[in-house]
Structure formats: C-alpha cells, structure tokens
Amino acid sequence: MMKELPYILDYYDKEVSKMISQKYGYSTMDSFKKFLKSETYAMLSNPELEMWDFSCAGIFDMWETEQKTGNPRNSLFITRD
C-alpha cells in the first residue's frame, strides 16, 4: 500500500481542497495549504490508520470539525454509531 499512498493522497488533496475552496471561498492554493497543515491530513497520510476507505466528504467533515473544535476526531463521521 505504501507505493499507492502518494496517488491516493493526491486524489484527496485535490478533492478536499476543492471542497474547502467552494465552501469557504479560499483560493485553491490556500485551501490546499490549510488541508496539508491539518491534523486531519496527518491522520489521512498515516498508513496505519487506513483512512483511504473514507469518502472525500468524510475527510472534509473531519477537516471542518477540526477547524471548529480543534480535533478531527469529534467529527460525526467518526463518532456516529
């Protein structure tokens, strides 16, 4: 999976950054930077967590929750049963 991880991350980088730009009006580059500097991104890029099964909408929800609460793990996407 390590070989595929850069390709998977590239997909999420583009899609989640686009979602951030569309919702918050940031430039594409600013959205990309905000996403890359987030704990959500650190979690996504950790192969041990296997978060590549999450949808882009789920990753975006985690990022947005992180911006609001400081912790992506508070996302309803993760906490719902």
**Which pLDDT band, with edges at 50, 70 and 90, does 3 fall under?**
low
Give the residue, 79 or 33, on which the prediction is more confident.
33
Q: What are the structural domain ranges in the chain?
A: 10-79
**Which pLDDT band, with edges at 50, 70 and 90, does 77 fall under?**
confident
**Which pLDDT band, with edges at 50, 70 and 90, does 8 fall under?**
confident
Structure tokens at 32: 């990309």
Task: Report yes or no: 53 and 20 within 8 Å, Cβ to Cβ.
Answer: no
pLDDT at 7: 83
The torsion angles phi and psi of 46, rounded to 5 degrees, stand at -90, 110
Find all residues with CB under 8 Å of 31, minimum gap 6, and list them: 17, 18, 20, 21, 24
- Map tokens 């991880």 to a residue: 5
